[in-house]
Structure 1
Amino acid sequence: MSKRSKRNNNNKKISSTKNKRNKIPEPISLENPLIFDKINVEIIKHIWKNPDIRSSEISEKVHIPLSTIQRRRSKIENSTLFTKNFDLDYHRLGMRVADLLIKTLKGDVERIVDQITEKHSKSILEVTVRIGHPDVNLVVRIAYKNNDEIYEIIRTLNTLENVESIQWSEILKEITTDKQGLIENLFQRSNP
């Protein structure tokens, strides 16, 4: 059996983790659906706001038995609906962050992404392929120390085949918002 795919006891295909980072996540499984009722939405609101919140705290705040919160929270966290990760504050390290807005001509965008990551992997925070804006179909978020460094990155990217133009904008400040309304809106759409 190949390393890329294996089958579990139920004869379902299991993909390797190597390809998971480049794929769009699948919707929540129909075999084991996550129901977005009032209780689950309340749990989601609390863990979105504070991923380290204890189930007992949620139970006290929403007046629902602890066992119900624990069971439902476990199902929510195992659903792959959320990912828990750490963010690094680049500004506190003396770094600056910018988005490079790249217009590519005909060509394989994936190949261009590979070339960019090969040349500047030490500066890249993320790369996204976009549609909708005629002059931007690739965005590269980078961390850099000074103007000389970003100039050098842009200069080398301009030499890549099929890169027509590059614009850039520096992120001065990220403004966080309370996403509680967004959560309610998302999950109301999920429950007809």
Structure 2
Amino acid sequence: MSTTANRPGAGNSVNLSQQLLLAMPGKVSGNLANTVIYVCEHTEHGALGLVINRPTDLTVGALLKRIDLDLSLEIGPVQDLPVYFGGPVQTDRGFVLHAPVGGYSSSIQLGDVALTTSRDVLQDVAQGKGPAQLLVTLGYAGWGAGQLESEMSQNAWLNVDATNDILFSTPSENLYEVALAQLGIDPLMLAGDAGHA
């Protein structure tokens, strides 16, 4: 497994799709401060990612009931999983990051996981036959053309390879530290006011 901390600059474009972005203390503010974001798509037109370390008070079971899906008795512990704040854009829209990849009507394959925005994946979850691993968010984080590259060049984000273990098995409160550890960085080493030599 390779881990990278890329710093794209002018003329050096790095595709951050399927990477985790870690907000640098003091560099990223507002809704995205202290976040870990899974980058679903990064092209010359911009980027789309999901915040994966901000659980809300809403559970998957409560969300399914809210959208009028009857829960099967087979759903088990999935109903108690949190729904995450995926980002400040379209917070009324659901996004399901899941593995293994399924054949849902609006799935985008992202390596060995998929992103689905259609109701059919939630119908399967409610019936106890949904994906074995999933993460549900409301909203997403988005960047316009060149915006993420600019933020990366200003050291606002670190990036590291995403793994299914990090995405689906690591408790949200430990995600930042676990992802940093892949880079060999202790969170205490990060200072929001670090300068440049």
TM-score, scaled relative to structure 1: 0.26
Q: Larger RCO: Structure 1 or Structure 2 (Cα < 8 Å, ≥ 6 residues apart)?
A: 2
Q: More strand per residue: 1 or 2?
A: 2
Q: More helix per residue: 1 or 2?
A: 1
